[in-house]
A and B are shown apart, each in its own frame.
Chain A
């Protein structure tokens, strides 16, 4: 049996180190994959809920029978104006 020189020893050392890393990674891969899948599923769920809920929450029907009220006086409820618009139509 030949005695390894320094260079051969170094090459074997690097190879052995790389193989041990690969083995370690291979062992951890299933756990990493499961975690990633779980995270992606959660993100997809949140995005789906937001995509459905936000437009519904911000639709005109969610604010009653009007979109927006501008007023030149502070402290008057929007609904009072909507009621006045309704009452005038009833009277007219």
Chain B
């Protein structure tokens, strides 16, 4: 007895010591001198009373943010990933950004630009830009950053940039391979600018310590888990953080001193954390969880309309039964897009062409001409007229996102209803990304895609230009279609008439079918009154509207 007791006691003590050391020893408090609010994000005493968790006037003002993922890479020119989007726009600045719904190009580091020929732009930056190490940013740094971004090859959209060279100390000439302004804006807008001096001084290519022109710096970071951003002192761009001075003012705002990001992957846990006062705002919450807060006066629900649309990409190649136009049309008629939207909570705007109706080159009148309105009889008739004989129609979907799987499931239901033998093949997000263009694996792919405008989206998916096998991502080549799309890649033929012609051809042939564009939900306590994001709708935490007395 004694012996066993002794062993148990020793084991117990050992574990206690270990547990205490483990929990207490690491990450005690953030480095910020914030004793009042402390690092005890989840202290039970504060968790029962949300009000005590607000930053007090004395210390630095802090916002605690829950995100579905935190950046696992903060180097300047890494590839895009959800977690990176959450913090990166407060850590780096590009030259400019393009507002999707209006098409307007807004300068960030760029003061102004001039289009000197069909595909050449002169970009002039502000002459008073300094990075975190107080290096002065000049045209050389801009060129260095552009060349490095292209050389690292992690951002696939940069293929449209041909070259960049110096005009004077603050002006760079950028030559594009495309004539389209949106291509220029989207490509250049993806490149973060850093100084050559700071980059070369960094021992690890800034993969842990970004030094940039942005208003915040990374003070603590655990890749993929948590991050703390702190406002820089004596920030060079402080005066630009004023809507009356600059259209892209939100890239400069420092309205909060400290932003603390925590990854919470389960949506239900996110809203519980919000309700128990563990966090101040939950970003990109699912619609279902967001609804809980909509009628609650203690919370703000920020609804942001996105240009991301739920699309059905049809495999029109010879491998698929969907090479039959009638069957594709039948599918479009068989689906009640409104019901699909309702199944996901009923948010977002409907689509009336292939692509979101939120884009600048979308014609609002298309809404009136009808876009495969739900018509079960027409669908059944078309199925009969087609060569379809009960083959399995495979719907490929990424299982990572419940809204996409819902879309797939409702679509499957509608197809089964008209006698199309639909089957869902879920893939995890990585496998999905790797296999989404494999024509042997799917007939219909449910996907959301972010592009600059309709012309951009159509060209990416339906143009065979630059494809080795001469076929587009719908796995076919159609000469008429190619001609219509080529028109949209040149400045002088990018006209409403040509857009309309392409729209009608794509619609008639049902190469792809769009359902609706989604809405993003961010839910906060009364502390955060307004959500402000970049043109791509990702958070610009310094620019949010805060109510410090809440």
Q: Are A and B bound to each other?
A: no
Chain B residues within CB distance 8 Å of chain A? none
Chain A residues within CB distance 8 Å of chain B? none
